[in-house]
Amino acid sequence: MTKKPVKPGATRVLRTKVKKKSGLKESSRRWLERHMNDPYVQRSKADGYRSRAAYKLIEIDDRYKLLKPGMKVIDLGAAPGGWCQVAAARTKSSAENPQVVGIDYLGMDAVPGATVLEMDFLDDAAPEKLVDVLGGEPDIVLSDMAAPTTGHRRTDHIRTEHLCEVAADFAISVLKPGGHFLSKTFQGGTEHTVLDLLKKNFRSVHHVKPPASRDESVELYLLAKDFKGRS
């Protein structure tokens, strides 16, 4: 790997060029180079966040003011822990009295102020376990879940949209009245089914594309605010 020189007077950002190597696909080389030169990736390392995805939640929360001290939070698809870090900091959740519970089938290091369950959210036992560990109804349910990509765009959209719909059903079944739901989805998928569900159960629903979401990415977020409550 070689580093490109920085022009005089320019902002000093290290630019890394990944050399072509035997056995490394060109598409993989380009992805690796883009990832290493991503300013959000560099910033996350400097700020101590687990991933660049933390800034997506930060930017959404800065705009909509969702997370407040004392709130109870459930984070679906929590690994590697960036959203848990942001949620714990902004709700002032402590290690002694954690108010944030995350879940992921992938293992991850502990997050101060959060409890993390290593299990699949689609496991039948997961919803009840989450609420039990949290110790009550959440004020907000977060979901940055996405299905592993297959390379077939339509299939990937449908699988991730299914996760969004399951997350929405879960949120509606557990949220406190007035609570919020934020979930990843994909543009051009089947998001209208989820959108209709959310509009029936929340007082406002927004499509959000935070600046930290890459321009070329088809991801966006559905934000449902002010849960109407269960009948």
Q: Catalytic residue positions?
A: 184
Spatial CA neighbour of 18 closest among 31, 29, 26, 4: 29
Rounded Cα–Cα distance for residues 230 and 152 (Å): 38
Tokens for 167, please give them: 């997350």
Please, which residues have CB within 8 angstroms of residue 23's CB and are 6 or more apart in sequence? none
Q: Which amino acid is at 42?
A: Q
Rounded Cα–Cα distance for residues 91 and 102 (Å): 14
Tokens for 191, please give them: 């998001």
- Integer CA distances (angstroms), 215 to 72, 210, 211, in order: 32, 10, 8
Rounded Cα–Cα distance for residues 226 and 203 (Å): 6
Cβ-based neighbour number of residue 51 at 10 Å: 18
